[in-house]
Structure 1
């Protein structure tokens, strides 16, 4: 009996246990159902509100040094006022702009007429309605865009005169607001004073979207010297925004917008510091922030000697002003100078001066502006004739006036040099010797008036330009800047124009192209890419010291000209005779200890109906071991004895300065020397000649 009771007792207890487990599971399932179904959306929203907030701090850009390790472009810590729009209405932007104007001073010079019209429409809505009649609105089907355009057209100067100076300042601020992107900070004013920053910070609660940002701006140790080539830094331009976003930039980032800053943006750009915070649903920080340190951009060591650059700029200013004082220029005084190492392509100095410009700095004209260069290109004409077989070292042509159609062409001043060879043609700057070469290119035999001159001029132009291109004339030099000019190509014209081409009176070339051309002759026929940057270095961790080298740029040979060493040496000798020959067109330069070789040019141009001259001198020194090549162009000169020959005067003073600085330094390069390119030290045969101080106009 007791056994039966025991057996029936165990199942009851198990049943109770199972029932309890059932209740617990039921409660758990019920709870999960409540969480997932009833309150699921609420909990999901809380999860969604838990976000990672990332802030990025701009890193300073890399520095720039000159070739001797002197800082030329630095960074200066400043404070900037920024505005971040969150799809804010125009009325709200206007309200914030008015309040912000109470705390900062802004410039209004960048405001356009269109900006003022838009502001007038926004702030004077009732008057704006009166500009378009009801009938006109109906005719336009109440198309808001068409009505807006009609309103813009009908806003007059009288309407715009209603805008006060204070409103102009508000407009300037709102203009910057509108230039930004949603959720991306837009710089409203860079380099605010500490007083302005303090006022803005004190009233941030009244200025939604406004903030103060630690920023930096470029600082130039040498003032405006060479500043045109350094370039500018600014916010990303709208057409380029996708390009930069794809490379990891933010919309509000500053980038290089011109010249070296743009060319080397990838190098100069710093690595931003990143701070990441995790916020919960109540916007409280969860845990410590994760921080990644930033890094300043990499540094550039330039090829330029800033002490030489300062001296060259001053020389150009003084010589242009001297000529201008003697009323030597047709209009504005201008001049351009390039100094480069013919063995490496390194630019030592570039300068341009234009008295018509606000700051008179026209450095960029060296690579952008092209001029008729006259006889300075005759070295290329002789070498083209050599290579084509229409002349050879020692070839004699008879210099006398020639008749092409109804035009008589000859050497300068109608002089006849008689029988001359290639050396004399260069020394005395014979036009006719070059004409004979050009006529051969055009298959025109002047002595017998036979041949297909007019039929073969196309071939003649193409062939001569092909040889000129090999020296960098008429093509890009490859200088490491975002843009450069290539000059004017006159195309294919009459046979007489082919003759003009051979003496530099048809196509035009930039001063940089002329410097590359004469460097190619100086170094034995190698066209070297001109460079403004010689090294990329790690940011220095020690003040006033350069960081480790990342990349060093070796000379880049773009091409070797087709001519033989013997042919090039022959033209080198002709260039030497231009300065050191008894009848050389630059023989007044012969008393210099650094032994110059070069070629003068006096190109005839017409401006506003007046006949003028461009004066040119290109060359290199020392002629037996060239270390500096130069090109000097002084355009649009009257033909007056009182002005002398300004290109030669500038060249003399510039070379005096270069060799004086070299002697005082005792070393040609102080920063690590680039490897010399083999084969550039070509010997040029010297010829002892009597020097004369009397000069002769070419």
Structure 2
């Protein structure tokens, strides 16, 4: 009984202490809420706490030899933060009016609606009621409809009477409107020192306005490879939700194209956080505290690009185009070239040139045309045609055909570029670029064994369709008509010809039907040079942590190893046989005049695809014929270390005064430059600032 009595007493004592604790807590809460509540409310009302997140500089880009190619430059940005969206439009206009005399800002994007909204904000209530009478307002279903009608009824003369200063105010206000809650919105980037000084003097009169450190991209070598580096801009409307779900804010700048977009997660830096607390004391003294958490620059990219070779290639193309002049083309003057390592897929250089035919302008760079534009590539694809014949057992090495015109019902005559070829085997067909040999492969795939003129020869709709499928599937193995795998957010895959009839099948075999990009063409020849292994083309080799100072040790976060996409379904013996034909092209075939005696010992294939474009209007409308000059190859032929593809679209026909061999000239100069740089390097040329 004693034990039970002691236990009960202890429990009672414990409950008593708990009661005292809760009583003390309730008393304290009462004091805080009732006695000191007004003081805390007053302190809260007089305290402003703004947290800004500032973009950190993005990661840098280097070429394969360590030359910095994309850098950041420090700049100052004028920003506006609307805390919890509490500031009203009229208050924002007042701030914009104070800023207007101190900064220059572009007004070209100010719309008519922007101007009318600005005027409406300046109107007094009675002025707005004069725009729409009371009866009309009753009949309108919503405030939105009333607002729209008010905007419409603002006299046009008032819009036209807006001054230059008004338009600047509107432009500033327009940027301020884009600010999201507690998120710094850039009003103007790269403000001058004078602008920053003037604004700083009255910053306390500009609630929400600040001057922040920012950075912008600079391109050390100007326009060289510039398009492939990509662009940075505000988040595109269609991708806002995607980025917000990944921790971005709506006003953030992101990579919107090419490498900047592809490697956004890598290049993006860690934001700095700036917390500003402003407190007014009873004596009207303003106390400000700032706490900053430093950000970190994004990680760096090491590219496969050889910037020195890239610059040389751009100069080679530009020089050749200037020699040719606009008179050597039936349409726009342009040229494209890709240099790639066949064993790794590394893109060493990729250059393009474009000059519109109907404009009096100088040519501009069009490097991205190598992945965004597709052309019929002509006879350069014939190595794939011969290997397709081997793979399907349609032909065997050494098989011979008489190269003579082919006449089929309802089909234009099909023939080679000359009637002098006679009987040719597979190697000779490549060497002399026999169309008829390729026609025979395509026809036999469709069960057409041609013997005499106007013969139906056994093919039908089903057999022709099956042949198209086999040829395209075979070509896809080389990268022709399929995704190349390059590390870019977008690249073209070419177009398939629309009508699958027998005559077009024959054109497909000689590169006159489906279209391919210069990069696809380069991947195709690199696959043959690499003994049938198709490598994934790549522009980035490594991701590195940013260096704080130049003496730090380089830290490689990720190294991209060469990636095999597939091995073409052809035997080593067949590939070797075709490579013999490609070497013969350069030593005694269609490219021998240019390449037979060069020291770098290339193998390759020439091509000329026929093109027709409409010219003129109405009764004067007619077609002009030309060709697309192409050349693919690799060197040295016995141990390939570089492969190339050159495309010169819409060239004038030779007999019409066109410039011969433009693609061959570009390729030869590019190869000589590549092998020269292996011995002596001076580094790329800096762009004048």
Change (3 A) 1:211 1:398: same
- The 2-side partners of 1:29 and 1:571 are apart by 91
Match of 2:432 in 1: 428
Is the Cα contact below 8 Å between 1:381 and 1:502 reproduced in 2? Answer: yes
Distance 1:55 1:180 in 2: 12
Equivalent of residue 664 in structure 2, options 645, 648, 669:
648
- Mapping for residues 590-601 of structure 1, pairs under 5 Å: 590-601=596-607
Residues 255, 611 of structure 1: alpha-carbon distance in 2 compared, 3 angstrom cutoff: same
Residue 7 (structure 1) aligns with: none
2:634 to 609, 615, 620: 620
Q: Residues 397 and 433 of structure 1 are in contact (CA less than 8 Å); yes or no, is this contact kept in structure 2? A: yes
Residue 473 (str. 1) matches residue 477 (str. 2): no
Alignment of 1:353-364 (within 5 A): 353-356=353-356, 360-364=364-368
Displacement of 1:440 after TM fit? Answer: 1.8
Trace 1:524-535 onto structure 2 (pairs within 5 A): 524-535=531-542
Query: Among residues 621, 630, 643, which one is paired with 1:629 in the alignment?
Result: 643
1:401 aligns with 2:405: yes
The correspondence of residues 685-696 of structure 1 with structure 2, limited to 5 A, is: none
State the shift of 1:532 in Å. Answer: 0.7
Compute the displacement of 1:53 (Å). 6.3
Indicate yes or no: 2:675 matched with 1:659: yes
Residue segments in structure 1 that go unaligned for 5+ positions in a row: 1-23, 668-698
Asked whether 1:262 is paired with 2:258, we answer no
Q: CA deviation at 1:391?
A: 1.3
**CA–CA distance in structure 2, aligned partners of residues 510 and 95 of structure 1:** 55
- 1:553 to partner: Cα distance: 1.2
Greater mean alpha carbon deviation, residues 137-146 or residues 333-342: 137-146
SS for the counterpart of 2:166 is helix
Distance 1:416 1:126 in 2: 91
Q: Using a 3 Å threshold, how does the CA distance of structure 1 residues 90 and 623 change in structure 2: closer, same or farther?
A: same
- SS state at 1:485 partner: coil
**In 1: Cα distance, 2:477 partner to 2:303 partner:** 27
Shift of the 28–364 alpha-carbon distance from structure 1 to 2, 3 Å rule, reads closer
Q: 1:411 to 1:666 in 2, by over 3 A?
A: farther
SS in 2 for 1:101: helix
Alpha-carbon distance in structure 2 between the residues aligned to 1:666 and 1:206? 55
Is 2:414 aligned against 1:382? Answer: no
CA pair 406-152 structure 1, distance change in 2 beyond 3 A: farther
- Corresponding residue number in structure 2 for 1:141: 140
Residue 501 and residue 596 in structure 1: after superposition, are their counterparts in 2 closer, same or farther (change >3 A)?
same
Shift of 1:207: 2.5
Q: Is contact 1:305-1:348 (8 Å) kept?
A: yes
Residue 415 to residue 241, structure 1, CA distance change in 2 (3 Å): same
Deviation for aligned residue 1:538: 1.7
* SS in structure 1 at match of 2:325: helix
The answer to whether the Cα contact below 8 Å between 2:417 and 2:435 also exists between their aligned partners in 1 is no
Deviation at 1:250, TM superposition (A): 3.1
Measured against aligned partners, the alpha-carbon deviations of 1:510-552 in whole angstroms (never above 9, x if no partner) come to: 1111111110011111111111111111212333887222222
Residue in 2 that maps onto 1:558? 565
Matched, 1:81 2:82: no
Classify 1:65/1:398 alpha carbon distance in 2 versus 1 (closer, same or farther; 3 Å). Answer: same
Q: CA deviation at 1:613?
A: 0.8
Q: Does the alignment pair 1:59 with 2:59?
A: no
Native 8 Å contact 1:338 1:349 kept in 2: yes
Alignment correspondent of 1:494: 501
Q: Is the 8 A contact 2:330 2:625 kept in 1?
A: no
SS in 1 for 2:78: strand
Contact 1:541 1:547 in 2 (8 A): no
Contact preservation (8 Å) 1:457, 1:492: no
The separation in 1 between residues aligned to 2:576 and 2:293, in whole angstroms, is 60
In 1, Cα distance between the equivalents of 2:607 and 2:131? 64
Cα distance in 2 between the residues matched to 1:154 and 1:627: 71
C-alpha distance in structure 2 between counterparts of 1:119 and 1:286, whole Å: 35
Deviation at 1:228, TM superposition (A): 0.8
| Contact persistence 1:401–1:414 (CA under 8 A) | no
Structure 1 position 270, deviation (Å): 1.7
**Partner in structure 2 of residue 418 of structure 1:** 422
1:71 aligns with 2:71: no
Q: Tell me the CA shift for residue 610 of structure 1.
A: 1.5
2:600 aligned with 1:603:
no
Change (3 A) 1:622 1:287: same
Secondary structure in 2 aligned to 1:314? helix
Query: Compared with structure 1, are the counterparts of its residues 503 and 126 closer, same or farther at alpha carbon in structure 2 (3 Å cutoff)?
Result: farther
Q: Which whole-Å CA distance do the structure 1 matches of 2:554 and 2:351 have between them? A: 29
What's 2:317 paired with? 316
Worse-superposed segment, 201-210 or 587-596? 201-210
C-alpha displacement of 1:380: 1.0
Structure 2 Cα separation of the partners of residues 104 and 119 of structure 1: 19
Q: Following the alignment from structure 2 to structure 1, what is the Cα–Cα distance between the partners of residues 21 and 548?
A: 66
SS in 1 for 2:680: helix
Aligned length: 643
Q: Measure the CA separation in 1 of the matches of 2:537 and 2:583.
A: 24
Counterpart in the other structure of 2:15: none
The answer as to whether partners of 1:520 and 1:527 remain within 8 angstroms in 2 is yes
TM-score (norm 2): 0.84
Alignment correspondent of 1:184: 183
| 1:258 CA drift (Å) | 1.4
Tell whether the 8 Å contact from 2:110 to 2:171 is kept in structure 1 after alignment: yes
Are the equivalent residues in 2 in contact too, given 1:267–1:298 (CA < 8 A)?
A: yes
**Distance in 2 between the 1:123 and 1:324 partners?**
58
Give the Å deviation of 1:295.
2.3
Change (3 A) 1:40 1:623: same
Q: CA deviation at 1:359?
A: 7.1
Residue 331 of structure 1 deviates from its aligned partner by 3.2
Distance across 2 between alignment mates of 1:346 and 1:182: 45
